[in-house]
Amino acid sequence: MIELRSDTFTLPTAAMRHAMVEAVVGDACYGEDPTVRELEETAAERVGKQAACLMPSGTMGNLAAVLAHVPRGSKVIAGAESDIYLYEAGGVSMCGGALLAPVPHLPDGRFVPDALAAEFPGDPDDPQFALPALLCVENTQNRCGGVALPLDYLREVRAFAAARGVGVHLDGARLFNAEVASGVPAADIAATADSVQFCLSKGLSAPIGSMVAGSAEFVTRVRRVRKLLGGTMRQAGVVAAAGLIALREMTGRLAEDHANARRLAEHLADIDGVDIDPGSVGTNIVLFRVLDERLTAAEFVAAAGRAGVALTEFGHGRIRAVTHRGVIAADIDRAADVLATVLALPR
């Protein structure tokens, strides 16, 4: 099977496995795991924040960060196509008592301009409105094709938020894909937000873990929420040891994933019956449609799976393929052949 469902399928490297064996660990609930501390300090420095904290998942990273930002009863603005709104089970509302307000995107991943401003009530003293307290930005933006948002745009959003007195949280699950694709250092991207979450377990290939970074005072609040949610893990150094390798050694290799994604997109563009713009593929995510009317997206995904290529049905009639360390250029070529064959089958 050529696994293109997600980059979360990456397996830990041999070096990571080895590091897990060697890691010096302690009880991280008491703050006494040196490897966790090393990872947290390394992560903070890497993204240019005062402090960082290890999480068992990106979902908890986002949840704990949002809860550390906003009071109960406030409004959290997020992209209508964002993970936080769509794929994190409404945790912000359930655990945080906050309203999630989804804002539509332009195809290039930016917010529809007036839509952001419309979320701010004309009269903040009118108690019928939940008051906006946070703006969440996702970069790269998964459902807009893994696009890396331009630094200028991120700065503009930050200035918009700051002018209205609300913070910005960056869901940077694939922050280093953005770094590699845009050539802008992760710390400069993260500087456009008050807090950032990024995953060690996607293209970076750690088995477990995400980081939340921000000011020291903010991260202290995040740790409190993490404990309550049950995300503080005991001898977490075994996980952190792999995470350190992910962070130190694996960010550069994301360029390969991007090249493979572009390679796949170009192959797909050559197949009759596939709708794709290869120019829109900037990172490791490839979105396309099949134009064969006899076949829904879900049916195509199922047929591709039977033929040995695992894809994801992705809403709005789209199909997603994600490249990662477990897939090499030869796999990409073979996958394209398989997909062409599937489409050419008589129906």
3-42: contacts with its own copies (CB under 8 A): 5-6, 8-12, 17-18, 20-21, 25-27, 29-30
Least distance from C-beta 332 to its own copies, angstroms?
20
Verify binding: residue 120, its own copies, rule CB under 8 A: no
| Distance of alpha carbon 311 from alpha carbon 313, whole angstroms | 7
Determine the distance from the C-alpha atom of residue 70 to the mean position of all C-alpha atoms in its chain, rounded to a whole number. 21
Query: According to CB under 8 A, which one of 226, 267, 324, 325 is a site residue for its own copies?
Result: 226
Q: How would you classify the pairing of strands 132-138 and 167-171?
A: parallel
Query: According to CB under 8 A, which one of 213, 238, 321, 339 is a site residue for its own copies?
Result: 238
Verify binding: residue 255, its own copies, rule CB under 8 A: no
Contacts (CB under 8 A) with its own copies, residues 164-203 = 201
Secondary structure of residue 245 in the 3-state scheme: helix
Contact criterion met (CB below 8 Å) for 258 and 180? yes
Verify binding: residue 207, its own copies, rule CB under 8 A: yes
Q: What is the CA radius of gyration of the chain?
A: 21
Least distance from C-beta 63 to its own copies, angstroms?
5
Q: List strands edge to edge, sheet with 195-199.
A: 51-55, 210-214, 195-199, 167-171, 132-138, 75-79, 99-103
- Map tokens 């130190």 to a residue: 248
Secondary structure of residue 75 in the 3-state scheme: strand
Least distance from C-beta 86 to Ca ion, angstroms?
9
Verify binding: residue 308, its own copies, rule CB under 8 A: no
Query: According to CB under 8 A, which one of 41, 94, 159, 217 is a site residue for its own copies?
Result: 94
Structure-derived torsion over alpha carbons of residues 328, 330, 332, 338, reported in degrees to the nearest 10: -140
Least distance from C-beta 72 to its own copies, angstroms?
4
Burial (CB < 10 A; 0-12, 13-18, 19+), residue 289, is middle
Residue 229 interaction partner, one of Ca ion, its own copies, none, beta carbon < 5-8 Å per kind: its own copies
- In sequence order, the 6+-apart residues with CB closer than 8 A to the CB of 113 are none
Verify binding: residue 232, its own copies, rule CB under 8 A: yes
Half-sphere exposure of 94 (CA within 13 A, CB side): 8
Task: Determine the residue type at 173.
Answer: A
| Contacting positions for Ca ion (CB under 5 A) | 10, 58, 83, 201, 234
Query: According to CB under 8 A, which one of 181, 196, 233, 343 is a site residue for its own copies?
Result: 233
Least distance from C-beta 62 to its own copies, angstroms?
8
Quick note: the x/- pattern for its own copies over 132-171, rule CB under 8 A, is ----------------------------------------
Total residues binding its own copies (CB under 8 A): 78
Q: Judged by CB under 8 A, which stretch of 44-52, 93-101, 158-166, 170-178 contacts its own copies? A: 93-101
Q: Based on CB atoms, which residue is closest to its own copies, 173 or 189?
A: 173
Query: According to CB under 8 A, which one of 41, 50, 93, 112 is a site residue for its own copies?
Result: 93
Query: According to CB under 8 A, which one of 15, 95, 307, 340 is a site residue for its own copies?
Result: 95
| Distance of alpha carbon 45 from alpha carbon 56, whole angstroms | 20
Residues in the chain: 347
